[in-house]
Amino acid sequence: MEDRAITSTLSLSSQSALPEEDKSMLQILGGHSLSGEVSISGAKNSALVIMAGALLCSGDCRLRNVPSLIDVRRMGEILSALGVKLERQGNVLDINASQFEVTKAPYELVSQLRASFFIVGPMLARLGVARVPLPGGCAIGARPVDLHVRGLQAMGADVQIEHGTVHAHIKGGKKRLQGARIYLDCPSVGATETLMMAATLAEGETILENAAQEPEVTDLANFCRSMGANIQGAGTNTIVISGVPQLHSTDYPIIPDRIEAGTFLVAGAITRSEISLFPIVPDHLTAVVAKLKEIGVKVVLEAPDRMRVIPTQQHRATDIETMPFPGFPTDMQAQFMALLTLSDGNSIITETVFENRLRHVAELNRMGADIRVKGNIAIVRGVPLLSGAPVVATDLRASAALVLAGLAANGTTTIQGLHHLDRGYDNLEGKLKGLGAKLERIKGDSTEAIALLSPAPVG
Ligand code: EPU
């Protein structure tokens, strides 16, 4: 066991020796159609929170279908720094938190990954104390954690923020957090997950009202239940958790990534190509499929876990407003914007979840799109074609949108800022190549990239 732990710590840290600001670029030769089948990886946002959830249990947790992503590696490094043993083989990740005793998360690691704040709930529930640096804002918004903090306070924690770190401990010399009735001002995914994890080991019943209903919340609940937690109502807006004294070992498969699946559905639509996706959970894609149908794209369920996208030659405009699940996901807004730039008519896209998630507009406009922004609203006027251009990815989903635009554009698109893409898409280039896309990752600065440009293909 000891040897195994050393191996895993070494392998995790050596994997993470990736350049922070990766200088490589993705060069895409647009205008080629795609075909075939693509396999969808495990959900990033489930994997990250479930890894944190593994801190709740002192036995072995085996996670299956774990995607290969920089964010997952970073979460692994954070857990290692807390004394947790991890070993990864392919998409199976074994986590053993029996030696988890460290109550302070290291700033250098936490600051690289917002999702690292998820450890605060399990740390407090298991050790009675937690010191976790605030994650800070990011490219898409300020992203406060006030709802996480207020919920933990309601459960009997003393929480102070000093010098940029959240210091929390269970009040009154008690060993366990206390169940509470907590109303969330907005259905925050992260706050619901933090409080659900904390409540699994609390004394008594916790009721989370106006809880997030995202599939990743349900996945976390199912993971905790597989360890013996008592959770009812996950997937609705009221979740009831009856605390238990401890949780046990588990072997748990992570759900397929609905945002990766949605991105490939748009890849089919924007390149006018038929693509089959497997595995998927249709209920997780309802809003995305509804919008695709509205603009004229057919989506067929070939099997309960397999979907085929069948595009038409001309798409219609539509309006989109991002909403918490089951509404249209903010994580698909940028990719749909790329699609709507090439659809007939005017589309209005309203981003309601994050305050700064329209930064891809300027980059899409560089490629010939016609988009104007007013506050949190983007007005997209459909154009007949996009033209390849050098562009910069500003965040994870923005980078996916640029890849999609590049696949459809006339000529070559060169995308910088790939560290965003690598954070959250498992082998996107390999999967697109498997479908016939013409794209290559190249090293060096933009001068080298431009020298490599090939003549624009037609069709
Ligand atoms: N909010 C608060 N206070 C809080 C928590 C949230 O005001 O204490 C606000 C946020 O600022 C935001 C809104 O509530 O305006 C929604 O935030 P939420 O907490 O739901 O989002 P999150 O937990 O920070 C997760 C995903 C995001 C995804 C959102 C919404 C993870 C690791 N991240 O973030 O994923 O966009 O839910 O579905 O689960 C991505 O994958 O690209 C991504 C950004």
CATH at residue 27: 3.65.10.10
**Ligand 1 near 396 CB (within 6 A):** yes
Rounded-to-5 percentages of helix, strand, coil across the chain:
35, 25, 35
Q: Are residues 420 and 343 in the same domain?
A: yes
Q: Are residues 237 and 216 in the same domain?
A: yes
What is the pLDDT of the chain when averaged over all its residues? 91
CA distance 120 to 52: 9
Rounded average pLDDT over 376-391: 97
Output the CA–CA distances (angstroms, integers) from residue 334 to 112, 378, 406, in the order listed.
Answer: 23, 11, 13
User: What is the per-residue pLDDT for 7?
Assistant: 33
203-216 per-position pLDDT tens digit: 999 999 999 999 99
Q: Please determine, for residue 450, whether its predicted confidence score (pLDDT) is greater than 60.
A: no
Q: Are strands 238-242 and 205-209 parallel, antiparallel or unpaired?
A: antiparallel
Q: Which atom of ligand 1 is nearest to the CA of 118?
A: 32
- 204: closest CA among 159, 148, 156? 156
**Ligand 1 near 354 CB (within 6 A):** yes
Residue 1 lies in a domain: no
Rounded average pLDDT over 85-98: 97
Residue 6 lies in a domain: no
Tally the residues of the chain.
459
Q: Please determine, for residue 152, whether its predicted confidence score (pLDDT) is greater than 70.
A: yes
How close is the Cα of 189 to the center of ligand 1, in Å?
6
The tokens describing 173, both together, are: 């010399």
**Ligand 1 near 72 CB (within 6 A):** no
Helix (H) or strand (E) holding 334: helix 333-340
**Ligand 1 near 191 CB (within 6 A):** yes
Q: Is 138 one of the catalytic residues?
A: yes
Residue 364 lies in a domain: yes
Residue 106 lies in a domain: yes
Contact criterion met (CB below 8 Å) for 141 and 115: no
Catalytic residue among 61, 138, 186, 224: 138
Residue whose entry in the numeric block shows the structure tokens 């104007």: 372
Task: Name residues whose C-beta falls within 8 Å of residue 374's C-beta, 6 or more positions apart in sequence.
Answer: none
Quick count: other Cβ atoms within 10 Å of Cβ 93?
Answer: 25
CA distance 213 to 260: 19
Residue 193 lies in a domain: yes
User: What is the per-residue pLDDT for 313?
Assistant: 84
Q: Are residues 265 and 208 in the same domain?
A: no
User: What is the per-residue pLDDT for 455?
Assistant: 38
**Ligand 1 near 45 CB (within 6 A):** yes
Residue 4 lies in a domain: no
Q: Please determine, for residue 347, whether its predicted confidence score (pLDDT) is greater than 80.
A: yes
Q: Which atom of ligand 1 is nearest to the CA of 147?
A: 8
* pTM of the predicted model as reported, rounded to 2 decimal places: 0.93
* Paired strand residues for 414: 27, 390
Contact criterion met (CB below 8 Å) for 387 and 409: yes
Given 253, 286, 303, the domain boundary residue is 253
Residue nearest to ligand 1 atom 25, measured at CA: 189
- 42: closest CA among 217, 251, 256? 256
Q: Are residues 284 and 234 in the same domain?
A: no
Our mutation pick for probing the ligand 1 site, out of 353, 356, 426, counting the most ligand atoms within 8 A of Cβ, is 353
pLDDT band at 22 (very low <50, low <70, confident <90, very high): low
- Quote the number of domains for the chain: 2
CA 265 to chain centre: 17
User: What is the per-residue pLDDT for 114?
Assistant: 87
- 52: closest CA among 8, 26, 84, 15? 84
**Ligand 1 near 80 CB (within 6 A):** no
* Paired strand residues for 276: 37, 308
Rounded average pLDDT over 291-297: 97
Q: Are residues 340 and 446 in the same domain?
A: yes
Our mutation pick for probing the ligand 1 site, out of 143, 259, 323, counting the most ligand atoms within 8 A of Cβ, is 143
308-342 per-position pLDDT tens digit: 999 888 999 999 999 999 999 999 999 999 999 99
Segments forming the whole domain that contains residue 210: 44-253
Quick one: CA dihedral 210, 212, 215, 216, positive or negative? negative
Output the CA–CA distances (angstroms, integers) from residue 221 to 83, 197, 238, 358, in the order listed.
Answer: 24, 8, 13, 32
How close is the Cα of 449 to the center of ligand 1, in Å?
35
28-44 per-position pLDDT tens digit: 999 999 999 999 999 99
List, in sequence order, the alpha helices (H) in 186-307.
189-200, 215-226, 258-270, 286-294
Q: Are residues 305 and 423 in the same domain?
A: yes
Q: Are residues 264 and 210 in the same domain?
A: no
Given 253, 286, 315, the domain boundary residue is 253
CA distance between the termini of the chain? 57
